[in-house]
Chain A
Amino acid sequence: MTNGDRRLGRAGKTIRVAVAVVGIGLLINGSARASDDAWPFGPMSQYAGSVADDAEVTFTRITAQTDAGTSVDVPLNIEGAGVARAEIEARTGEIVKNPALLQQVADGWAKKHPDQPKYLKLELIRDTTKLVGGRVVGPPTPEVLATWQVRR
């Protein structure tokens, strides 16, 4: 049933082992010293953070006033406004400095949902939940970080 093993030549084996060892080295180096920028050799830092049991947990969201007179939570995903919540959280500082970046949230929504009410004004809001002894106490406290009047 077998046609005999296919063995590697000396060069082929040496190169392969070297590539594997260098790859492992790059991964270890990335995990020890690099940041996400070094993907795929960066650290596996998803949920690697250490959160104190009396920490304040923050959660960033965007609310919109619409031309239908309603106030809604902007769905931060690809199907909603075309931007993921994690992207907004990663760039909160930039948005606070330059709220015009929120324009593309309104544009994304309008483009994907042309028949739904348009966004007139966007607010970037941070909810803070307090932990005591590792337990959640009380409802979150909202804080408005940036406001943007949508350009039509």
Chain B
Amino acid sequence: MTTVTEQPPSRAARIAGWFTPSIALARIAWLRTILYLFVILDMHAFVRDTRLKGEHPDLYQPLLLARIFHLPVPSVANTTALYVVLIVACLIGATNYFPRVAGWIVAPAFTWWVLIGMSDGKVDHDHLALVVALWVLPTVSGARRGASAYGDQTRSEAAGWAVRCVQISVIATYFLSWVAKVRSPGWKLLSWPNSAILTWAIVRRPHPVGEWLLLHPWLLQVMQWVGFVAEFLSPVILWLKGRWQLLGALFFIGFHVANTAILLIHFLPTVVCWLAFAPLERIVPFVRRKLHRDPGQAEDQAEDRGQAEQQAGA
């Protein structure tokens, strides 16, 4: 890593630069609001049995992290406290006032919430990106407070790192699913896509769409191949740009729609984190251009006026 600007950056500097792109702080503000509100939804719709586990600790089997940190066995008192703390901290964080303090409370609290929710012999794999997002969001400093944060075009490498971590976690969810599919049959590459896994899944969770598909096992196998190849290729999306990246994102969102129809598994906690790829920082300037024709109020006066003149001349 050299400080002489004339020389091309070293390989180490290029790699470090990839992990820390400059991204507008507005994207962090949007992600804070969306993800902290999503956590509240998650606590009621997805990982929603944590408080119940406080009432019935008999089935509690602490996971590795809970054992390492000697987390207490869930009880009515501690799961209720966790619930209240999470709701309050998420609501504060979502406003973009004191988002770092709130964020540093939400990250460990929600991680513990999910740890309890999954400490009963069954672990879901849809929370990686969301949990990572909650841990990296509070590391971003220097954002504006409240509503003005959504339009803050100040570009920050700290923001870029947080966004990159979420993007990597989203993609890791797919790529590592591919790894698991190769590992599960004893590191055999092509065993999974040729197997009867989707038939198995539908027999165990019957529903009308699935029962029709059971009559066409070849179709299920085609779907297995599409998913298998897509999960293997998913890391490419990290290096795609613009429309191609959008296309990749839309493909995987379609993949989740199909999974929801066939397996009744929605993976929404991962889907919402796809927003880390979206240029959310453009929302405010876009809305201003479209709606605010009053140039006195807009911060980007010149641009607004130019736009208005163009539209008047059109």
A residues adjacent to B (C-beta < 8 A): 1-8, 10, 12-14, 16-17, 20, 23-24, 27-28, 31-32, 36-40, 42-53, 55, 57, 59, 78, 82-84, 86-87, 90-91, 101, 104, 107-108, 129, 131, 133-136
- Tell which of A37, A49, A90, A101 touches B184, judged by Cβ atoms closer than 8 Å: A49
Nearest B residue to A3 via CB reads B154
| Minimum Cβ distance to chain B for residue A83 (Å) | 7
Chain B contributes a number of interface residues (CB within 8 A of A) equal to 72
With A46-B124, A90-B120 as contacts: A1 and B183 at CB distance below 8 Å: no
Q: B49, B158, B180: which contacts A43 (Cβ < 8 A)?
A: B180
- Which residues of A lie under 8 Å from residue B48 when comparing CB positions? 78
User: Which chain B residues have a beta carbon within 8 Å of chain A's beta carbons?
Assistant: 1, 15-16, 19-20, 22, 25, 48-49, 52, 56, 58-59, 63-65, 111, 114-115, 118, 120-125, 127-128, 131-132, 139, 142, 153-159, 161, 164-165, 168, 172-173, 176-177, 179-181, 183-185, 188, 191-192, 195-197, 199-201, 203-204, 214, 217, 221, 263, 265, 299-300, 303
**Residues of B contacting A47 in the complex (Cβ-Cβ under 8 angstroms):** 197, 201, 263, 265
- Give the residue name and chain of the B residue nearest to A16 (CB): B161
Q: Give B174's nearest chain A residue, CB to CB.
A: A44
Q: Look across to chain A and name the residue whose beta carbon is closest to the beta carbon of B123.
A: A36
A108 to B299 CA separation, bound complex (whole angstroms): 58
- Establish whether residues B173 and A2, one from each chain, have CB atoms under 8 Å apart when the complex forms: no
Kindly identify which residue among B56, B197, B201 contacts A50, using a CB–CB cutoff of 8 Å.
B197
Contact flag A108-B192 (CB < 8 Å), given A4-B154, A5-B22, A134-B217: no
Asked if A82 contacts B176 (CB within 8 A), the reply is no
